[in-house]
Amino acid sequence: MNYGIVVFPSKEIQDFANNHRKRYDPHYKLIPPHITIKKIESNDENQLDEIVTLLEDVTSSLSPFEITFNRVSNFFPLNNVIYLALEDTEPMTNLYEEMNKGMIKEEQPRYPFTPHLTIGQNLMEDELFDIFANLKSQNIQYRMKVDRIHLLYQLENEVWTAYQSFVLPKEK
């Protein structure tokens, strides 16, 4: 079974993302707009309790923080993906590093962690450049508070659903 740790953005950001995802993201119907912190591939459902315990432990010592999406970017030529990018990636990178422990530690990730919110993927190259040029000219400024993370699991029909949410309780 596949699991994932994500942050869901505010409704305003989800609305902006979905306006584009419904046309440019084949995963639009499988999962709401999100920032992936970790994807965990596991065939052992017995590990779920250990993952929950680890996330409860890690999140209990974390504080909520603010992030701002301020532009559109892409992963070309590695991937034909267009995404909302963060003004400052450090808070999300710190969250990723806190999650990258114990049984869910990723020793050698395929790509460096780049916090983002996908708005288009699996695009043809010319389509990617057209969409990117259009979105790049827009003034994007979305701010939100990250005060919880969500553990998701993937159903047999490939839809992702929430298993448990974890609040970042510690105020600075």
Count of beta carbons in the 10 Å neighbourhood of residue 167: 12
Among the options 20, 27, 34, 150, which is catalytic?
34
Question: 20 catalytic, yes or no?
Answer: no
Question: 27 catalytic, yes or no?
Answer: no
Taking the C-alpha atoms of residue 125 and residue 60, their distance in angstroms, rounded to an integer, is 43
| SS3 annotation, 34-102 | CEEEEEEECCCHHHHHHHHHHHHHHHCCCCCEEEEEEEEEECCCCCCCEEEEECCCHHHHHHHHHHCCH
Tokens of 37: 């912190």
Among the options 20, 27, 116, 150, which is catalytic?
116
Any idea what DSSP says for residue 146? Answer: E
**What does the CA dihedral 37, 168, 25, 97 come to, rounded to 10 degrees?**
-10
Instruction: List residues with catalytic annotation.
Output: 34, 116
